[in-house]
Structure 1
Amino acid sequence: MLKRIYIKNYALIKEIEVNFENGLTIISGETGAGKSILINSLYLAFGEPIDTTFLLNKEEPIIVEVDLDKIDEEIKEQGKEFGLDFTRDEITIRRIYNPKTGKNSYLIEDIPVPKTYLSAIFKNSIELVGQHENSRLLNVSSHIELLDLFANIKQEVQQFSNYYNLLKKKEEELNLLIKTKDEQTKRIDYLNYAISEINKINPKLEEEDLYEERKKLSHSEKIVANLSDALSYLKSQNSGLNKIFLLKKSIDELITFDSTLSKISSNFQDAYILLQDTEQEIASYLERLDFSEEHLKFLDERLDQLEFLKKKYGNSIEQVLNTKKQYEEELANYDSLDEKMDKLSKEISNLKQKLAHDAITISQKRRVSAKELELLVNENLKKIGMEASRFAVSMDYQMDENSYCKVNGIGYKVTSNGIDNVEFALSSSPSLPVKSLRKIASGGEISRIMLAIKKALIEYEQASTIIFDEIDTGIGGKTADLVGNEISLIANDRQIICITHLPQIASYGDHHFNVVKNIASKDVYVTIHKLSNEQRISEIARMLSGQPDSEVALEHAKELLNQKK
């Protein structure tokens, strides 16, 4: 229930505080006085975007506070996530907008909370019925929601919607797997082909040496000639090898005279051995060299194969072999998707069966409730001056031969709400057929129809506070009195706040506030005051005649108020 609203620096409001009570609270004032600013401020407290042109003082923040009690237990439970413990019966919601930074603060009991949580509280606590709501009544998509509320199947429909969305998700997953399988099959074929191609050539790491061998063979004549000359020299009598041998022998003869010459002898010995080894290596190298055309052809063909693999799978034999290893590992990790696809297909089939069954069950409940809603709304319409009108709930289906929801072989299109199309209709005369509200209802009729529907739905509404924002549009006289009476009856079960310009409705109030636009020399601002009994008589007199001091209007106002006691 709404207990208090505090507003500072918004629109024409410098600073006001209003305390609300149970029963029917009336808010009235001259046209343009700013009555709807209260409602707009209420929206602001719960996260509505701020139009900065409504800043009264652009240097000061906008502050809106709202006190609520009787908070739903589920909402309280959600609040624990943000550190709220709800130790008091009431909570204070505060929104602060800083124009200097453009930032907003949303607080409950001075604890920061997300805007989405405030929206949940608003939806659960306060119901606004006004021009916006009347426009909603002309929106056909809202009719099924209102019928489901009356049928008390909103939770059932929400669960159906969840399963419907789950079905769509599963179908998307299956389609993705089908596409993935096609792509996977292509990938597996490629991997097998690539591995087979590499295996067929069967490259070895040591074959990198073949490139050096081929390089040597391309200079074979020069290599053989030069090495052969070197070998011939080493084998000749005049070679350095023989000369070193003779020199060593000559030095050895002198060692007996000077032992220090043994070092020189040792050096000649090392040089002799080194040249001997070199001679053997040259000879061995020349023996190993294969200069045959057949070997050269083999090398060229093998190197062409290795180059082919390098161009496709890596810049070296090592990279080619690593690529092959990666492909083999990838191939080994591919699971068959068939099992996953079969599982998904079964889940989809089961979901379709459940949805088909639930859609039919929900439709049957809607049809029963539609008749009950028609009776209640028509009874309520009679009480507010529309006894000649007839309200009806039209229900039909859209056929779909491919649908999984079939009744007697006929397929019906399934949406997240089920299989029903629901539309409210009205006939303004017993002799005329019902037609869509969009086509025949006037502004005054829409307001009264909404009131009749709201009264029918009252026991199913979560909100403990209902605000009627100028629901009296397009009516007057006796009809206004009837509407006021119905609103007062609703106030027996809910806190009702009614913004009105009609004295007939205002006279039913338990509490009455007056909104005044104050105009000074260079200052315009709005104030709101709770009226005493005497002040209330004057305000209703003003609403009757435009003259709060008119004796005739004052008497009429007293008469109106006395009739409601």
Structure 2
Amino acid sequence: MSVCCGDEHLLLELKVRNLGIIESIDWSLRGGLNVITGETGAGKSLVIDAVETLLEGKADEDVIRHGSDEARIEGVFSLLGKKDARQLRGFLAEKGIRDVEDSLVVSCDLKRQGRSVIRVNGNAVPRAVLHQIGRQLIDIHGQSEHLSLYDRKYHLDFLDAYGHAMEMRNSFGAKATELARLEQELKSLAEEEKDRARREEFLRFQLDEINRARLRDGEEVELELERNVLASAEKLKALSYEAYQALYRDDSSSASAPALDRLNEAVAAMKRLVELDPSLSQQLNYLEEMVYGLEEAAREIRSYGERLEHNPQRQEEVESRLELIRTLKRKYGQSIADILCYAQKAEKEIESITHSTERREELEQACNILKAEMGRVAAELSQVRSETASKLVTEAQKELQDLNMSQVEFQVSITQQEAEDGIPLPDGKTYAFSTEGVDIVEFLASTNPGEPLKPLSKIASTGEISRFTLALKGALSEADKTPILIFDEIDIGVGGRSGEIIGKKLWALAQNRQVICVTHLPQIAAFADAHYNVHKDDTGSRTVSHLQTLEGESRLREIAIMLAGPQYTGTSLTDASEVMGKAEAWKKSQQSKS
């Protein structure tokens, strides 16, 4: 019977080819507690090693079956209903693996010659990507280097999840992210400050140079015209006099009559004509108007000539002004309009530079306010973590006692590190921080009385690691969301009574995740939701491992063999039936409570 496993995030199939003494195994797994049993040396742990190799993406070439050039491992994982499957799919999409729906197929081809080939849903991926996927899918207990619980960087996550502190932590993280943004802007302003100061000084010099010139649009054209007049003053004076003389001479020195005199004679003649023929009155008017116009022109020309004089001082002033304009044009534009436009832009840039100083002051104030807020939240978060750690230690010690490991001491270390550029806490000191707060969290343990506490990764005994892990997993069952747990060698040095307790703990863990366990103890195997046997056949020249699903009579015989050895008896079968019945009765009682 298949057991529903929480979010239905399972290892569905494992296919192994030419790995060690395994020639070919196709293993279909179920939800709940999957137990592997078999005689020593049959290859039980090799099956677990296959999963480990699949997640590592590499192995020594001597694990490849003798006579084969390559080994292949393939795992099919279900993603149905997984709460954070969207996150995993998003990660895969970033790596170019799209259209991941209900399942994930991970394969690893190990070669004697050349590099291993890792594929996810048919897409070749580097080992780093495989490791990230593996971290989200499986914890293998028995080899602490593959266990997130033994990696300090995950301890804070476990503690905050256990203490329901993620909302407060995320609030702190948002503030830390905002502080980082503000400080980056401050840093950029500081790096640019010297350049801005030099730029402002230069712009003010240019603006002063332009403003002192007091330029007027159109001025250059006027000055050029005046310069031409000043340069030709004598000639212009002579020409104007000549023109005036031709129009209206006030002496009779010239042999020819001036134009106005002759025109006046014409007017007098026309008047006589009009007296005789009025039809010519319009022409008379034309001539009279011409006389008036020429008289006015003559007066203006005479006045113009009288005003003209050679003025070297004014000519020098005009030339100097034009040279100033030419100099400014070379610097700031092709015309006076361009120069004035440049001045406006310089004023705006100076204003912007001045504003940047104000912005720096605003940023510094905002950073100080934000740091104070962060210090308050960090202090609250630290208090919650301290209280949570006490609860977790109490729960873990209870779990350890249930597993007959009362000699093991578990503690949660919470420390902070002072830093000048940190955030202030109520104790008046400043502490280094990350987006998770100011706390450095690490799980510690002492496995024997009198021994000092040390990091979990330093616990030596493999069996001890597995049982200790089981205790912590039990305590952290709601906080640790790793969907697939694998326990190898969990029963080393454990008797039947402890085995029964371990079996119960494993089955309880398997109610909201998939658990795979290798065991020698019938008391553990009896709690299996799915039971598999690994055995080997010697064909003379070769040894081959096989994996078999056990149900009904075959499972009863396996439990009997585990109790009494290969030469089991009817009594052994009765004992096996009793062990299995007791386990099933307990499981049903637990299910009825939920």
TM category, shorter: 0.5 to 0.7
Q: Secondary structure at the match of 1:452?
A: helix
1:210 paired with 2:223, answer yes
Aligned 1:30-429 pairs, distance under 5 A:
66-68=79-81, 104-107=98-101, 128=139, 130=141, 134-173=146-185, 193-208=205-220, 209-211=222-224, 213-214=226-227, 291-328=310-347, 347-384=366-403, 386-400=405-419, 404-406=423-425, 408-429=427-448
2: CA distance between counterparts of 1:291 and 1:479?
A: 128
2:460 is aligned, of 428, 434, 441, to: 441
With 210-219 and 349-358 compared, the bigger mean Cα shift is at 210-219
- Which residue type is aligned with residue 33 of structure 2? L
Does 336-345 or 273-282 show the bigger shift? 273-282
Query: 1:510: Cα distance to partner?
Result: 1.9
Partner Cα distance (1:346, 1:94) in 2: 41
Query: Post-superposition shift, 1:360?
Result: 2.9
* Equivalent residue number for residue 46 of structure 1: none
What CA RMSD, in Å, does the superposition of the two structures yield over aligned residues? 6.0
Return closer, same or farther for 1:34/1:407 CA change in 2, 3 Å cut-off.
closer
Match of residue 501, structure 1, among 509, 518, 535: 518
Aligned with residue 536 of structure 1, among 555, 559, 571:
555
One of 489, 505, 517 as aligned partner of 1:489: 505
1:402 positional shift: 6.7
Distance 1:426 1:65, change over 3 A: closer
SS of residue paired to 2:315: helix
Check the 8 A contact 2:506/2:515 in 1, yes or no: no
3-state secondary structure, aligned to 1:478? coil
Q: Structure 1 residues 495, 488: CA separation in 2 closer, same or farther (over 3 Å shift)?
A: farther
Tell me the SS of whatever aligns to 2:100.
Answer: strand
Q: Is the 8 A contact 2:227 2:318 kept in 1?
A: yes
Percentage of identical aligned residues: 25
Alpha-carbon contact 1:488-1:509 (below 8 Å) kept: no
SS at match of 1:468: strand
Cα distance per residue 1:390-432 (max 9 Å; x no partner): 2222333323467553455555444433333322222232022
Tell me the secondary structure at the aligned position of residue 218 of structure 2.
Answer: helix
Task: State the Cα distance separating 1:438 from its structure 2 match.
Answer: 3.3
Cα distance in 1 for residues equivalent to 2:219 and 2:208: 19
CA apart distance, 1:128: 4.6
Matched position secondary structure for 2:494? helix
Contact 2:156–2:440, Cα closer than 8 Å, also in 1 = yes
One-letter amino acid of the structure 2 residue matched with residue 478 of structure 1: V
The one-letter code sitting in structure 1 at the alignment partner of 2:315 is: L
Output one character per residue of 1:37-90: Cα deviation in whole Å (capped at 9) or x when no partner. 69979x9xxxxxxxxx99999xxxx99764338x6xxx89x99xxxxxxxxxxx
Instruction: Find the partner of 1:476 among 492, 496, 514.
Output: 492
1:356-399 Cα shifts (integer Å, max 9, x gaps): 33333333333333333233323323444544332222333323
Partners of 1:9 and 1:31 in 2: CA distance:
14
CA positional deviation for 1:314: 1.6
Contact map agreement 2:186 2:364 (CA 8 A) in 1? yes
Secondary structure (helix, strand or coil) at the match of 2:418 reads coil
Cα distance per residue 1:416-463 (max 9 Å; x no partner):
3333332222223202222233334344433333221110012x3374
Deviation of 1:302 after TM superposition, in Å, equals: 0.7
8 A Cα contact 2:34 2:528, kept in partner: yes
Per-residue deviation, residues 324-378 of structure 1 (Å, max 9, x unmatched): 3444566678885687666655544443333333333333333333333233323
| Contact 1:507–1:561 (8 Å) recurs in 2 | no
Q: Determine if contact 1:26/1:497 at 8 Å carries over to the other structure.
A: no
In the alignment, the residues of structure 2 paired with residue 423 and residue 9 of structure 1 have an alpha-carbon distance, to the nearest angstrom, of: 34
The answer to whether the 8 A contact 2:137-2:484 is kept is yes
Q: Supply the distance in 2 between the matched residues of 1:39 and 1:393 (Cα, whole angstroms).
A: 32
Change (3 A) 1:373 1:332: closer
Residue 201 of structure 1 deviates from its aligned partner by 1.3
Name the CA distance, whole Å, in 1 between partners of 2:27 and 2:494: 34
Mean CA deviation greater in 371-380 or 528-537: 528-537
Which secondary structure does the structure 1 equivalent of 2:531 belong to? strand
Say which is worse superposed, 272-281 or 127-136, in terms of deviation. 272-281
> Matched residues in 2 for 1:240 and 1:481: separation?
147
Which ranges in structure 1 are unaligned for 5 or more consecutive residues? 44-52, 80-92, 110-121, 253-271, 518-525
Aligned partners of 1:423 and 1:241: how far apart in 2? 117
- TM-score w.r.t. the length of structure 2 is 0.60
Counterparts of 1:240 and 1:560, CA distance in 2: 151
Answer whether contact 1:538 1:554 (CA < 8 A) is retained.
Answer: no
The 10-residue stretch of structure 1 (216-225 or 196-205) with the greater mean CA deviation from structure 2: 216-225
TM-score by length of 1: 0.63
